[in-house]
């Protein structure tokens, strides 16, 4: 994997994390948080798809590494929603 492949992978993960934050309606942090959420969402989404025996819907191959875009968005939305529920401010 070259540097350009790694940067493209970070960009795709950031977009997936940002979409997950937008879907869940809870946003905290900037670009680096979105990138981390994209990777965490990919892990959560793949775990969920394997547990439910669902297919990998859309995956990009970047530098020999497959990145599951749809499951990353779904996983990051679920992860952000759980974080949002746990960290809501009480009035």
Domain boundaries, the chain: 3-86
41, 79 contact by CB (below 8 A): yes
Residue 5: how many CB atoms within 10 A of its CB? 14
Q: What is the sign of the dihedral through the CA atoms of 60, 65, 66 and 67? A: negative
Residues 85 and 83: their CA atoms lie apart, in Å, by 5
1-58 pLDDT, tens digit each: 899 999 998 999 999 999 999 998 887 778 899 999 999 999 998 899 999 999 888 8
pTM: 0.86
* Token pair 């990998």 in the structure block, residue: 56
């Amino acid at each position: 994997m070259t540097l350009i492949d790694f940067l493209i992978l970070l960009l795709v993960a950031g977009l997936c994390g940002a979409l997950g934050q937008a879907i869940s309606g809870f946003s905290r942090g900037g670009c680096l948080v979105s990138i981390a959420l994209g990777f965490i969402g990919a892990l959560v989404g793949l775990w969920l798809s394997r547990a439910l025996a669902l297919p990998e819907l859309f995956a990009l191959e970047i530098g020999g590494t497959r990145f599951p875009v749809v499951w990353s968005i779904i996983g990051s939305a679920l992860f952000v929603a759980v974080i949002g529920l746990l960290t809501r401010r009480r009035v």
